[in-house]
Amino acid sequence: MTDTPLTLPEWDAMLDSIRPVGNQLINRWGRTAPSVDDRRDLFRLALSGVANGYLSHIALDPRHPTWTPCWNIAMNMGGPCPDYTYRTTDVDPQGSYRISGFRGTNRFVEVGQHSYELLGHEGPSSVAPLQHSLDDLTLGEAGAYSVILSPERPAGYTGDWWRLAPTTVRLLLRQCSVDWIGEVDARIAIERLDDAPPTTAAEIDRRIGNLGRWAEGMVRFDIDLARWYREHHGINVLTRSKKIESIGGMPNQVYYDGAYEIEDDEALVIETALPRTCLYWSLLVADDRFSTIDWANRQSSLNEAQARLDNDGKLRVVISKQDPGVQNWMDKADNPWGIIQMRWKVPSDAPDPVVTRCKVADVRQYLPSGTPAYSAEERAEAIRKRRIGYQMRTHW
């Protein structure tokens, strides 16, 4: 007698939900005659959207919250800032939670409250997300902290408290480090304090059914955002942005965005003064889908610990495919065009940058005469430190 093999129709239904994603995205991308490498790269990005949908949506339960990885090199969506690590968790806006742990030594650690469930399928909020800093809390021995997050302050409770907004369904944790090797990430845990009914099977099935929409929406959102910057900010410029603040950017941060489009023998030289005071600043380059160029193995970003300021106090950065032999180089890799983003964190003022296009061979005409040469050996050591530093951060 032959046993009849079992089937799992729910598996087929899930596969059907993600089946269209690749074709939807290759058409949305709009790259003319994509090469085999282009297609493979987009396939991997779409697959990372599927992974992100599982970790950031299906695996989460507001009854039992836990921080899961959100964006990193393996899930490179939305122009992740290389100095940040990102984690997320779902919350019930009617629930009560305790967030606790140890502060660490990072430049800052912030928890944002967000109203989106499926990023890319809901319109941007007109209200900037609530943002909380661990540095506003009472820190005890070894930097220990504890804060309650709830709609109302608990009766008789006198400790640290953050109000949970009635529209909040997600928390986004950002940790910023400028010295990736030397600084220590915060340790952070979240627990629900009030009782809640078990998550229903229908809710679990609903989230699984959202997987295709999540994967497509995440990547499509970023493709559209890159195109929006190109069309509205311009090419080979950096312009102050207000859009990013309305779609989930930090409300206490000033962003400059623009598109680059240069030939392989060309470069962009960015020149800017720095704010008189500023908690943190950085620049990054991303591709035309707003995926940040591999920041562990390429120098695709710079911050105060990685860059060199000139004697006049200004920052000058070169963007190009070819290494121009100066410390402040950002590698655009093989991308024909992409996004530049600069950010000032809690700045006293916001100097506007100037961007100049030139040949790589002529870069030094736009740099101070005393700009030192940067050897291949120095570059290799800088990349080695980035590779090690990236892995020492808490991404997972």
> Is the same domain home to 350 and 202?
no
Q: Report which of 105, 343, 130 is spatially closest to residue 248, judged by C-alpha positions.
A: 130
> Is the same domain home to 169 and 316?
no
Asked if residue 263 belongs to a domain, the reply is yes
> Is the same domain home to 44 and 177?
yes
Q: What are phi and psi of 82, to 5 degrees?
A: -60, -20
Q: List pLDDT tens digits, range 342-358.
A: 999 999 999 999 999 99
Q: How confident is the model at residue 119 (pLDDT cuts 50, 70, 90)?
A: low
pLDDT at residue 254 in the model: 94
Which is more confidently placed, 324 or 127? Answer: 324
Q: For residue 247, which amino acid is it?
A: I
Q: Which of 190, 213, 236 is the last residue of a domain?
A: 213
For residues 293 and 334, the answer to whether their CB atoms sit within 8 Å is: no
Query: Distance (Å, rounded) from C-alpha 102 to C-alpha 141?
Result: 9
Residue 81 structural domain: 9-213
Asked if residue 336 belongs to a domain, the reply is yes
**Cα torsion at 299, 300, 302, 307 (round to 10°)?**
40
Q: How confident is the model at residue 3 (pLDDT cuts 50, 70, 90)?
A: confident
Q: What percent of the chain has pLDDT over 90?
A: 90
> Is the same domain home to 128 and 200?
yes
- Give mean pLDDT, residues 47-74: 95
Q: How confident is the model at residue 172 (pLDDT cuts 50, 70, 90)?
A: very high
pLDDT at 212 over 70: yes
> Is the same domain home to 101 and 58?
yes
pLDDT at residue 243 in the model: 76
Q: For residue 348, with 0-12 CB atoms within 10 Å meaning exposed, 13-18 middle and 19 or more buried, which class applies?
A: exposed
Asked if residue 1 belongs to a domain, the reply is no
H or E, element range at 376: helix 376-392
- Give mean pLDDT, residues 57-84: 95
Residue carrying the six token digits 């032959």: 2
Q: How confident is the model at residue 246 (pLDDT cuts 50, 70, 90)?
A: low
Q: How confident is the model at residue 248 (pLDDT cuts 50, 70, 90)?
A: low
pLDDT at residue 249 in the model: 65
Q: Which two tokens stand for residue 347?
A: 């700045």
> Is the same domain home to 302 and 331?
yes
- Give mean pLDDT, residues 177-202: 96
Handedness of CA 207, 190, 252, 346 (dihedral sign): negative
> Is the same domain home to 100 and 74?
yes
Asked if residue 219 belongs to a domain, the reply is no
Number of helices (H) and strands (E), helices first, in the chain?
7, 18
pLDDT at 51 over 60: yes
> Is the same domain home to 325 and 377?
yes
pLDDT at residue 27 in the model: 96
Q: What percent of the chain has pLDDT over 70?
A: 95
Q: Which of 171, 192, 213 is the last residue of a domain?
A: 213
Q: Which of 191, 213, 235 is the last residue of a domain?
A: 213
Asked if residue 4 belongs to a domain, the reply is no
> Is the same domain home to 97 and 235?
no
Q: How confident is the model at residue 125 (pLDDT cuts 50, 70, 90)?
A: low
Determine the length of the chain.
Answer: 396
- Give mean pLDDT, residues 195-210: 94
pLDDT at residue 116 in the model: 86
Based on the structure, what is the number of domains in the chain?
2
pLDDT at residue 252 in the model: 84
> Is the same domain home to 259 and 193?
no
pLDDT at residue 118 in the model: 75
Question: What is the secondary structure of 200-269 as a DSSP string?
Answer: PHHHHHHHHHTHHHHHHHHHHHHHHHHHHHHHHT-BS--EEESHHHHTT--TTEEEEEEEEE--TTEEEE
Q: Which two tokens stand for residue 80?
A: 């992740």
> Is the same domain home to 86 and 185?
yes
pLDDT at 120 over 70: no
> Is the same domain home to 174 and 305?
no
Q: Report which of 31, 144, 164 is spatially closest to residue 97, judged by C-alpha positions.
A: 164
| Helix%, strand%, coil% for the chain, nearest 5 | 25, 25, 45
Asked if residue 218 belongs to a domain, the reply is no
pLDDT at residue 39 in the model: 96
Query: Distance (Å, rounded) from C-alpha 51 to C-alpha 74?
Result: 9
